[in-house]
Amino acid sequence: MMSSFWSGWVIILTLACLAFVIYVLFTTWRQQRSEATTETTGHAYDGIEELDNPMPKWWLLLFVATFIFAAGYLALYPGMGNWKGLLGWTSTGELERHQEKHDRRYQPLFAQYANTPIEELVNNPKAVKMGKRIFLNNCALCHGSDAGGAFGFPDLTDNDWLYGGTADAITTTIMEGRNGQMPAWGAVIGEKGVRDVATFIRANAGLVDNADPAQLESGKKVYDTTCAVCHNADAKGNQLLGAPDLTDDTWLYGSSQAQVEYTIRNGRNGVMPAWKHILGSEKVHLVATYVYSLNEDNKAKKEEKN
Ligand code: HEC
Ligand code: HEC
């Protein structure tokens, strides 16, 4: 929205311009001779001279027509400052109409799969392909085009889940979004506490070779009193809170001593947006099927190996 000063300025400028065009049009109209003439304008170029004949009438009428069009357009559509036009047209309204039309056309395509459970739909290559397309358009930005994740964005193909890998858990994650909240502990447990507990969980995960037993014991104490509530006594995590398993080799925020210490000292706060209002449940159903399928492949591969 323009300020009323600029709005007024635009209106005055537009109207003044139109008035000037009308003025020029009518003064030349009145000065027109009605008869064809042999007088020249005095311009001569390479022996070619210009006759001083009036403009053809149809040409003038064309000017009048464009003027009427301009006046009509400015009355109906937003063209003068903040004036919204008699039709109430807006570009967002136009976009919404297009989107509605688009939805009406494609909704049945998505709707036909809505009632098939994901566990079954995953065997339908067409549905999985549609899910993949939705994924590439909406999710790849964060999770990667191969869904392999990145620092802070979980790998969705490894069958290792923050919030659970059942069809229902994946659907809830996508529909409602998630927000993992790892508090910052630096001020609570101090720098030594951070170092000790980081060493303890990394040793637990097989990442530290010759840890000092005293440090491990001190780290375990911090762990039991401060961390076990969320990450569980066995450090295998808690999917209700999205608290990761700290014993496996999947690390959302890196497994180096420095990264783990940073996580503990400063906290982490991963945000997965909610998609129900953006995609709607039918498209979420398809993209969830795609995510589910990535891990089905994995499971199959693991089974082959065993
Ligand atoms: C703006 C970045 C972003 C986008 C876009 C995004 N995600 Fe996420 N997603 C995240 C983050 C961050 C997490 C981890 C949340 C946490 O740490 O608690 C996550 C978590 C998830 C999880 C849970 C993984 C687990 O281990 O439990 C799934 C499933 C998921 N996303 C699927 C999707 C799908 C499908 C889309 C597209 C419709 C999508 N995401 C789009 C950032 C994003
Ligand atoms: C209130 C629950 C809660 C408590 C208490 C808690 N955490 Fe966490 N922690 C989480 C959540 C949730 C995440 C995931 C954050 C995210 O998804 O962005 C997390 C993430 C982590 C990570 C990152 C794991 C990865 O894969 O990169 C580490 C390391 C960690 N916590 C260690 C600890 C330690 C050590 C303590 C105790 C000093 C602790 N946490 C206490 C909830 C908690």
Same domain? For 160 and 285 the reply is yes
Which ligand approaches the C-alpha of residue 240 most closely? 2
Question: Which ligand is nearest the CA of 169, by number?
Answer: 1
Distances (CA, A) of 152 to 19, 145, 180, 268, 301: 62, 15, 11, 9, 26
At 34 the pLDDT is: 62
| Cβ–ligand 1 contact at 154 (below 6 Å) | yes
Residue 270 CB less than 6 A away from ligand 1: yes
Distances (CA, A) of 201 to 37, 71, 192, 230, 233: 102, 75, 14, 14, 12
- Residues 171 and 278 placed together within one structural domain of the fold: yes
CB 177 within 8 A of CB 273: yes
Domain membership of residue 122 (yes or no) is yes
Give the number of other CB atoms < 10 A from CB of residue 284.
24
Consecutive 10-residue runs of the chain (306 residues): their mean pLDDT?
85 91 82 69 84 80 90 89 86 90 86 93 95 97 96 94 96 97 96 97 94 95 97 96 95 96 97 95 96 78 56
pLDDT confidence of residue 144: 96
Domain shared by 155 and 36, yes or no: no
| Domain span at 203 | 186-269
Assess if residue 105 is contained within a domain.
yes
Please state, as a whole number, how many other Cβ atoms lie within 10 Å of the Cβ of residue 26: 12
What is the number of the ligand closest to the CA of 243? Answer: 2
User: Are 277 and 169 in a shared domain?
Assistant: yes
The answer on 280 and 175 residing in a single domain is yes
| Residue 303 pLDDT | 59
* Same domain for 297 and 252: no
Instruction: Check if 291 has its Cβ closer than 6 Å to any atom of ligand 1.
Output: yes
Establish if 91 belongs to a structural domain: no
Among residues 76, 104, 130, which one ends one of the domains? 76
Q: Are residues 237 and 255 in the same domain?
A: yes
Q: Give the number of residues written for the chain.
A: 306
Residue 269 CA: which ligand 2 atom is closest? 18
d(CA 84, CA 89): 7
- Residue 89 included in any domain: no
- The CATH number given to whatever domain includes residue 238 is 1.10.760.10
Which residue lies with its CA nearest to atom 19 of ligand 1? 272
184-222 burial, b if ≥16 CB within 10 A, otherwise e?
Answer: ebeeebeeebbbbbbbbbbbbbebbeebeeebbebbbeb
Instruction: Report the distance separating Cα 145 and Cα 136, nearest Å.
Output: 6
- Cα angle 174, 236, 260 (rounded to 5 degrees) comes to 85
Residue 84 within a domain: no
Q: Which residue has a Cα nearest atom 5 of ligand 1?
A: 139
Same-domain check for residues 155 and 290: yes
Q: Distance, CA 163 to ligand 1 centroid (Å)?
A: 10
Report yes or no on 90 lying in a domain. Answer: no
Q: Are residues 142 and 291 in the same domain?
A: yes
Domain count, the chain: 3
Picking from 247, 256, 255, 253, the residue whose alpha carbon sits closest to that of residue 266 is 253
Q: Are residues 158 and 175 in the same domain?
A: yes
Q: Are residues 167 and 214 in the same domain?
A: no
Residues 64 and 200 placed together within one structural domain of the fold: no
Amino acid occupying residue 125: P
Amino acid (one-letter) located at 35: E
| Residue to mutate, 272, 278, 283, ligand 1, most ligand atoms under 8 Å from C-beta | 272
